[in-house]
Structure 1
């Protein structure tokens, strides 16, 4: 203990000789045109905890957090970077980080083999560009769940068949964006068909039938009087709060805001299962990326912060503090899974024996490639809105993925 105190004292003395460094951090939030004080208040507790513990290690770090809507986020970062005042750290999702990298607005991250060992390769794949660069570092995973009003829907459906039967008594909502609907593709075990299309010049009938069954379910759902497809998650949450929807797909990082509005009426459960009974949890990755305008001192401090928040003990501490995110650290995930909504199901994503690594990478290969992502997104919209049949939509998806090989 005396040795540790001496080391800390020595570090403090060294830090005191270093100049202070303001680390400018920008964090995206979901689909909002205007950032409010309430948005900052919701993040203040955990941000203050993280920043204070970082400053306990290095008092010369002065983090400054700014929130930004995803509406014009890429353009805002481009304008700031081109003017020389870009952020030092960007906290966002994996798809946005890849877009920033393709736009040359962030620098890649060098990660040692030792630092990679505690993070599942499938998560690193989600932030690995086509040129092999790691464009950001995974920090958290948000689990996709079902949120419902317990007063209007006492028991949430556990299967897609139950959802269809319940739609005569309650109103269900889903977002039409691929990132919010990919869980349903896995529910119909369509992932192997998508992988085969990316890897093979031809399509077997069984794969075509899997994708067609998925799209047919989406079309049938759109015909149901009380199943609604809305543009985004924000619209779903507003509908649930206003009582216009009784059940929605949601993400674990939105639970706090929904709980504040709905109180004890809020119910949370796993998404319903489909024909694929072994479907694992769908998660969305939160990552930290390095801006391009940092001074050498700011870059060192930013990397120190990044290393700090990915330590297993830090991952465990912040996950339990927020109660809404799974750690990317495998060591921490096994400790906190039972405390996080959807955590036990998400934990299976870490176990390659239960979910083969090749299958885990299907989503990464689609989501990190804008052409593949748009190919499936366009087919989904055309099929859901009855512009084409499920059979035509399936062929559009599979052919588009084959052509992109």
Structure 2
């Protein structure tokens, strides 16, 4: 009985260690590295399957292990509405990941709540990042997050139905009048590219960052031209919804499903969804830049996937985490990730993107060059403001608000700027 008691105690210790960060890995003489991955918004099925994150992560891990055979890497995937609380729970117990891969808004939330730690990396090593991708994350000589990949927004269409994609909003509606089934999102962020054709995009971004509902928010001066441009865009949205062959969807997932099922011929499309669309439509999937106005390109939003560093890493784990991040940014890995998942572009400026041989990559590069990238100082405030603005857009499209009423609602409590004669 004593022998069985000792055996049971040993098993209990092993099980307890296996539940600790690095327990079993340390017993086996390997260095543990824990990575949390936020699934792409709207992902269904297997973790991160939609945007190719799973295959990209696995390829990185295998490559890193070849150079560091004693490293034991563990990856957990979380939905967007779970990852912050999961980290808070584990870190309250002195545990937590060494690295997190997420969109910018999650990285900002982690930083605000003290769940991630800014790091100081070698300036020479940071040359692997284009300045436009790293400057927004700088805190003195440290970085609160490190960009990994860019995911621009483009137009996706069925090549059997669209031979020559529209380059302006006018052309898009002309094609819809001839029978083209068009799908548009009814959320501000993925719909912002349409506002840029009216010059209203900058005003909308300022309203997101400084909503009137927050008293301490820096006031945004709104000129008469800003108001006219905003109302012109809202008028276009309301009129577009009356087109027989144009429909608005609540989110990107619904639009993608409609294109896959043949219910829509042309949609705006985030880079997260190009992987499943490519699998479904194969050679029939067309891609182009989003239509703008005459002489004014569309300015969509480019999403970034970024690295954040956990707070409870040992000194050795932190060095491994930094090495892994820099490994993910080298030219070889950045190129492999770009080619393995449609819809992603490298953040390393030394990677040659074959735009002449790939019309899809050419469209992504053009979109990126003309795009906005969201990086707000108060992510929760921004998300709340976006939801409030989405509600105004929905009521406008549904005919519950006139464009003038919607404009007034969006600009409520805004001081008017002095106007030039």
TM class by shorter-chain length? 0.7 to 0.9
Give the one of 237, 242, 254 matched to 2:273.
Answer: 254
Query: 1:110 maps to what in 2?
Result: 120
Aligned to 1:15: none
SS of 1:287's partner is: strand
Determine which of 234, 244, 251 is the counterpart of 2:263: 244
Structure-1-length-normalised TM-score: 0.79
Distance in 2 between residues matched to 1:38 and 1:396, nearest whole Å: 38
Task: Pick one of 182, 188, 197 that aligns with 2:198.
Answer: 188
CA-to-partner distance for each residue in 1:361-391, whole Å, 9 max, x for gaps?
A: x754558644355435423431332243333
Question: What number of residue pairs does the alignment pair up?
Answer: 376
Q: How does 1:361-400 map to 2 (within 5 A)?
A: 363-364=373-374, 369-372=379-382, 374-386=384-396, 387-398=400-411
- Tell me the residue number matched to 1:136: 145
Alpha-carbon distance in structure 2 between the residues aligned to 1:341 and 1:28? 29
- Match of 2:97, SS state, is coil
Shift of the alpha carbon at 1:128? 5.7
Gaps of 5+ in 2: 1-27, 211-217, 417-421
Higher mean C-alpha deviation, range 259-268 or range 37-46? 37-46
Q: Is the 8 A contact 2:36 2:97 kept in 1?
A: yes
SS in 2 for 1:273: coil
Q: Closer, same or farther in 2 for the Cα pair 1:102/1:41, shift >3 Å?
A: closer
Q: Distance in 2 between matches of 1:363 and 1:318?
A: 20
CA distance in 1, matches of 2:188, 2:336: 32
- Report if the CA contact (8 A) 2:104-2:305 is conserved: yes
Aligned to 1:166: 175
Q: 1:140·1:326 contact (CA, 8 Å) conserved in 2?
A: yes
Q: State the SS of the aligned residue for 1:109.
A: coil
- Conserved? CA contact 1:319–1:326, under 8 Å: yes
1:29 aligns to 2:39 (yes or no): yes
1:291 to partner: Cα distance:
2.1
- Shift in CA distance, 67/146, structure 1 to aligned 2, threshold 3 Å: same
Are the aligned partners of 1:22 and 1:62 in contact in 2 as well (CA < 8 Å)? yes
- Computing the radius of gyration from Cα coordinates, the structure with the larger value is 2
Residues 349-368 of structure 1 deviation map (CA, whole Å, 9 limit, x = unaligned): 887xxx7xxxx7x7545586
Name 1:12's counterpart in structure 2: none
Q: Distance in 2 between matches of 1:50 and 1:196?
A: 37
Q: Offset of 1:293 from its aligned partner?
A: 3.0
Counterpart for residue 124 of structure 1: 134
**For structure 1, which runs of at least 5 residues remain unmatched after alignment?**
1-17
Deviation at 1:285, TM superposition (A): 0.6
For the Cα contact (< 8 Å) 1:218–1:384, is it kept in 2? no
Match among 194, 210, 226 for residue 207 of structure 1: 226
Shift of 1:93: 0.8
Q: Secondary structure at the match of 1:213?
A: helix
Task: State how far apart, in whole Å, the 1-side matches of 2:189 and 2:142 are.
Answer: 23
Q: Give the structure-2-normalised TM-score.
A: 0.76
C-alpha distance in structure 2 between counterparts of 1:319 and 1:32, whole Å: 21
Q: CA deviation at 1:152?
A: 3.7
Q: Partners in 2 of 1:42 and 1:194 — Cα distance?
A: 31
In 2, the alpha carbon distance for the partners of 1:376 and 1:37 equals 27
* SS in structure 1 at match of 2:389: helix
CA RMSD between the two structures = 3.5
Deviations 1:243-286 (A, max 9, x none): 22222211234222112122233222211113562445642111
Contact 2:130 2:349 in 1 (8 A): yes
- Equivalent residue for 1:290? 309
The Cα of 1:74 is off from its aligned counterpart by 2.6
Q: Against the structure 1 CA distance between its residues 304 and 116, is the aligned structure 2 distance closer, same or farther, given a 3 Å change threshold? A: closer
2:102 corresponding residue in structure 1: 92
Per the TM alignment, residue 195 of structure 1 is displaced from its structure 2 partner at its CA by 7.1
Q: Distance in 1 between matches of 2:239 and 2:250?
A: 18
Alignment match, 2:345:
326
Give CA deviations for 1:184-233 in whole Å, capped at 9, x if unaligned: 23233324445787787632212222222222222222233332222221
Corresponding position of 2:329: 310
Separation of aligned partners in 1, 2:51 and 2:204: 41
